[in-house]
């Protein structure tokens, strides 16, 4: 960004539940100005007061096994796998929750420690039901890995012969199999502390302890938002996505079906992790070739629909601004909220239903694409909508719920038939005998193969806002966004802070572009105004923003706010490769931004394929009657545009 940029930005701190304990301790220790010298396995280090033994060991490169601990979550100290021996103390101590307050000498792998860990694993396995070979987490299960590491070669305390609990398959998004649960409580802390939804809790005590929902109701009957963050932190397969790969295979194998798949940018930046690559290794074009090897008839780019979303949602924002600022229409609500995160949409439906009028009516890119694939695509390519099977590769378990919402069928058919997570598609690629890492690169198929960098950055928190700013600023001011931000990169809305706020003064206005001339005569009513925007990721931060709006705070003055249900945005979605951590999500974001920079076209309104769609099909323009019927949720006529 130029030093003379007209944008100002402020950032607020994430709540304590979402900041790492290490950061908290380092901050406190800096204030005290005191470090403590300790020894771990004969290695010496000085650490701030309150640093845990586990954190100190990691700084020394010493591995201590964990199960209940997770970098994203608050401490629990319940599994005891991380126990260590401290000189002079009679009992072993849990290293994840032991704060260093004085000089100590620690050993991490004494015979006493090894026996204790082995004993704990034997006890966990005695109450863990299932056969590893048929488990979806086989070879990616932390319990399985630790059992191998500590030489578990038999069930010393017996083996559970039948499931202890009935598997909950009520949800379109998640499957809950508590017979595989090891009571680490990661899912509880994820749902309560990280997301602040509170669906899961530990009930009873002792050997009667169980992780469950309110009154043990099925997930489909409680306030689960389907975000899948609990899945990404579960060490076993007690929680998993509702896998529909068998149905997708059946469609591929049916000669009467034309099966198309759209791929979102976040899975493309992460799927390599499923094949042993480092986080942040983009596999966009190798994946296209692999998908054709799996049998998909066409491979399309979700970024195309992301560009379409920006045009529709950006136009909707401008219309709302005019109705509020010029027409003084009290029925129109600001700020406008983004609507492309289905977990966020479910969250606001449950917790803030009185604010639903603030949601953009625009469908998500996944659903917009589905509507186009069941209408425009068959009309122009000699196909019948009933024979087209639409599959979406998404980073998100909530997308499975979204494609099954009853309102998502404005074409007369389901917009999207099946949603696949990144993990599920990786499994399909292996099953097809395709070697993703050895595949040559190939491009997306037409007519939906042309996209822009703005579509790519949808995958990171702040990306939707940045894409919208790139387009709205140019449409209104007539100036190139590059004159305000180097390389069109709107840095103030980027980052992983939980909540962000930025202002953009509109000092000059230009002529109304032809694309939206049917809606606006001029922009004089915006000259001198300041566009105020907000960004947040994770529903705990969404709660902070919503409560601020209710209290009449800073975010109540915003015009547009981006909400993403998952930490980091889509790149941290509940369908992404396991494990996840702040570092992994940052690596994925780097891959996404690097791909954005590689595009010749960086702005949605300059996408020639999008302009062609409006010329040939959505002929009454953005937010017109046709687009409202197919691409928005607040319209009733259906089926008119199907061949």
Helices (H) and strands (E) in the chain, counts: 21, 18
Does residue 220 sit in the same domain as residue 172? yes
SS3 362: strand
Mean pLDDT of the chain: 93
Percentage of the chain exceeding pLDDT 70: 93
CA distance 85 to 111: 10
pLDDT at 259: 98
Percentage of the chain exceeding pLDDT 90: 91
Q: Which sign does the torsion angle of CA 401, 202, 117, 58 carry?
A: positive
Tell me: the pLDDT tens digits for 564-579?
999 999 999 999 999 9
Does residue 341 sit in the same domain as residue 460? yes
Closest CA to 340 of 542, 622, 569, 513: 569
Q: What CATH number did the domain enclosing 553 receive? A: 3.40.950.10
SS3 93: strand
Stronger pLDDT, 26 or 547, i.e. the higher one: 547
SS3 268: helix
Cα–Cα distances in angstroms (integers) from residue 552 to residues 13, 115, 263, 471, 536, in the given order: 19, 58, 40, 29, 17
Domain assignment present for residue 24? The answer is: yes
Q: Does the pLDDT at position 6 exceed 80?
A: no
CA distance 209 to 397: 27
Domain assignment present for residue 30? The answer is: yes
Mean pLDDT on 427-451: 95
pLDDT at 11: 40
SS3 589: helix
CA distance 541 to 547: 10
Q: Name the domain boundary from 56, 80, 109.
A: 109
Backbone φ and ψ of 393, nearest 5°:
-90, 115
Domain assignment present for residue 230? The answer is: yes
Mean pLDDT on 94-103: 96
Tell me: the pLDDT tens digits for 257-278?
999 999 999 999 999 999 999 9
For 427, residues 6+ apart whose C-beta sits below 8 A from its C-beta are 245
Does residue 30 sit in the same domain as residue 100? yes
Q: What CATH number did the domain enclosing 95 receive? A: 3.10.20.740
Q: How many other CB atoms sit within 10 Å of the CB of residue 158? A: 10
Mean pLDDT on 463-479: 97
pLDDT at 550: 98
Cβ–Cβ under 8 Å, residues 414 and 408: yes
pLDDT at 203: 93
pLDDT at 449: 82
pLDDT at 206: 87
Does residue 595 sit in the same domain as residue 455? yes
pLDDT at 291: 98
pLDDT at 23: 58
What residues act catalytically?
A: 313, 316, 340, 360, 399, 402, 407, 570
Closest CA to 126 of 80, 70, 166, 183: 183
Cβ–Cβ under 8 Å, residues 453 and 302: no
Q: Name the domain boundary from 181, 210, 241.
A: 241
Q: Name the domain boundary from 241, 256, 282.
A: 241
**CB-count exposure of residue 55 (10 Å: 0-12, 13-18, 19+):** buried
Long-range pairs of 282-287 with CB within 8 A, sequence gap ≥ 24: 282/591, 282/592, 282/594, 282/595, 283/436, 284/595, 285/441, 285/442, 285/443, 286/436, 286/437, 286/439, 286/440, 286/441, 287/263, 287/436, 287/439
Domain assignment present for residue 259? The answer is: no
SS3 584: helix
Domain assignment present for residue 77? The answer is: yes
For 373, residues 6+ apart whose C-beta sits below 8 A from its C-beta are 260, 262, 300, 388, 390, 415
Mean pLDDT on 498-517: 97
pLDDT at 17: 45
CA distance 253 to 375: 23
Domain assignment present for residue 369? The answer is: no
Q: Does the pLDDT at position 435 exceed 90?
A: yes
Residue 2, both tokens: 């130029």
Does residue 222 sit in the same domain as residue 345? no
Does residue 195 sit in the same domain as residue 227? yes
For 616, residues 6+ apart whose C-beta sits below 8 A from its C-beta are 376, 380
Does residue 325 sit in the same domain as residue 178? no
For helices 539-550 and 342-351, the axis angle rounded to 10 degrees is 50
Residue 183, both tokens: 């009571």
Give the count of domains, the chain.
3
pLDDT band at 8 (very low <50, low <70, confident <90, very high): very low
Does residue 576 sit in the same domain as residue 539? yes
Residue with tokens 């999008």: 610
pLDDT at 636: 46
Q: What b-and-e string marks burial along 114-146, b requiring 16 or more CB atoms within 10 Å of the CB?
A: eebbbebbbebbebbbbeeeebbbeebbbbbeb
Tell me: the pLDDT tens digits for 306-353?
999 999 999 999 999 999 999 999 999 999 999 999 999 999 999 999
Does residue 129 sit in the same domain as residue 224? yes
pTM for the predicted model, two decimal places: 0.93
Residue 38, both tokens: 């300790």
Does residue 457 sit in the same domain as residue 559? yes
For 330, residues 6+ apart whose C-beta sits below 8 A from its C-beta are none
Q: What CATH number did the domain enclosing 167 receive? A: 3.30.70.20
Domain assignment present for residue 514? The answer is: yes
Closest CA to 567 of 286, 284, 250, 233: 233
Does residue 136 sit in the same domain as residue 68? no
Tell me: the pLDDT tens digits for 386-430?
999 999 999 999 999 999 999 999 889 999 999 999 999 999 999
Closest CA to 234 of 117, 143, 126: 143
DSSP string, 124-161: HHHT--S-GGG-TTTTS-HHHHHHHHTT--S-TT----
Domain assignment present for residue 437? The answer is: no
Q: What b-and-e string marks burial along 166-187, b requiring 16 or more CB atoms within 10 Å of the CB?
A: eebebbbbbbbbbbbbbbbbbb
Long-range pairs of 138-147 with CB within 8 A, sequence gap ≥ 24: 140/578, 141/235, 141/236, 141/237, 142/67, 142/235, 142/236, 143/67, 143/182, 143/235, 143/236, 146/65, 146/67, 146/81, 146/117, 146/121, 147/121
Does residue 142 sit in the same domain as residue 175? yes
SS3 374: coil
CA distance 321 to 563: 19
| Domain containing residue 590 | 317-358+450-608
């Amino acid at each position: 960004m130029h030093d003379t940029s007209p944008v100002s930005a402020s950032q607020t701190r994430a709540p304590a539940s979402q900041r790492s304990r290490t950061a908290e301790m380092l901050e406190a220790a800096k204030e005290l100005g005191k470090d403590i010298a300790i020894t771990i396995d004969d290695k010496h280090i000085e650490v701030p007061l309150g640093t845990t033994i586990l954190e100190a060991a990691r700084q020394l490169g010493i591995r201590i096994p964990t199960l209940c601990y997770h970098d994203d979550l608050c401490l629990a100290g319940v599994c005891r796998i991380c126990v260590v021996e401290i000189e002079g103390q009679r009992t072993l101590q849990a290293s994840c929750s032991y704060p260093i307050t004085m000089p100590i000498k620690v050993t991490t792998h004494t015979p006493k420690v090894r026996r204790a860990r082995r004993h704990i694993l034997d006890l966990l396995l005695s109450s863990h039901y299932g056969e590893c070979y048929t488990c979806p987490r086989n070879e990616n299960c932390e319990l399985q890995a630790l059992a191998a590491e500590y030489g578990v070669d038999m069930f010393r305390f017996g083996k559970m012969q039948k499931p202890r609990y009935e598997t909950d398959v009520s949800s379109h998004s998640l499957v809950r199999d508590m017979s595989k649960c090891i009571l680490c409580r990661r899912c509880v802390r994820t749902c309560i502390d990280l997301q602040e939804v509170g669906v899961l809790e530990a009930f009873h005590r002792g050997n009667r302890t169980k992780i469950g929902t309110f009154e043990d109701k099925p997930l489909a009957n409680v306030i689960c938002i389907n975000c899948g963050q609990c899945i990404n932190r579960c060490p076993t397969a007690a929680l998993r996505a509702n896998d529909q790969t068998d149905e997708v295979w059946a469609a591929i194998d049916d000669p009467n079906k034309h099966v198309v798949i759209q791929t979102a940018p976040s899975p493309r930046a992460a799927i390599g992790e499923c094949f042993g690559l480092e986080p942040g290794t983009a596999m966009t074009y190798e994946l296209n070739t692999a998908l054709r090897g799996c049998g998909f008839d066409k491979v399309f780019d979700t970024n195309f629909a992301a560009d379409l979303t920006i045009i529709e949602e950006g136009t909707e924002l401008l219309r709302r601004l005019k109705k509020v600022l010029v027409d003084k229409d009290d029925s129109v609500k600001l700020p406008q909220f983004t609507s492309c995160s289905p977990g966020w949409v479910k969250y606001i439906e449950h917790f803030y239903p009185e604010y639903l009028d603030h949601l953009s009516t625009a469908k998500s890119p996944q659903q917009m694409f589905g509507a186009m694939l069941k209408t425009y695509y068959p009309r122009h390519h000699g196909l019948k909508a009933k024979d087209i099977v639409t599959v979406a590769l998404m980073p998100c378990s909530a997308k499975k719920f979204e494609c099954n919402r009853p309102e998502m069928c404005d074409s007369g058919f389901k917009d999207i038939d099946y949603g696949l997570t990144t993990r599920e598609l990786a499994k399909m690629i292996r099953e097809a005998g395709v070697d993703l890492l050895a595949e040559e690169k190939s491009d997306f198929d037409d007519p939906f193969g042309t996209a822009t960098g703005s579509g790519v950055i949808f995958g990171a928190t702040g990306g939707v806002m940045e894409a919208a700013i790139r387009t709205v600023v140019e449409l209104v001011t007539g100036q190139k966004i590059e004159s305000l931000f180097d390389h069109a990169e709107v840095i103030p809305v980027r980052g992983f802070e939980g909540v962000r706020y930025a202002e953009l003064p509109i000092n000059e206005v230009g002529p109304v572009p032809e694309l939206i001339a049917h809606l606006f005569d001029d922009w004089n009513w915006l000259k001198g105004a300041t566009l105020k925007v907000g960004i947040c990721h994770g529903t705990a931060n969404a709660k902070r923003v919503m409560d601020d709006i209710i209290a009449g705070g800073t975010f109540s003055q915003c015009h547009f706010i981006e909400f993403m249900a998952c930490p980091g945005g889509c790149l941290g979605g509940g369908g992404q490769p396991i494990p996840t951590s702040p570092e992994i999500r940052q690596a994925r974001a780097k891959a996404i931004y690097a791909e954005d920079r590689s595009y010749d076209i960086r702005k949605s309104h300059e996408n020639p394929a999008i302009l062609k769609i409006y010329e040939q099909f959505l002929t009454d323009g953005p937010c017109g009657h046709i687009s409202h019927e197919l691409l928005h949720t607040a319209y009733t006529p259906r089926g008119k545009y199907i061949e």
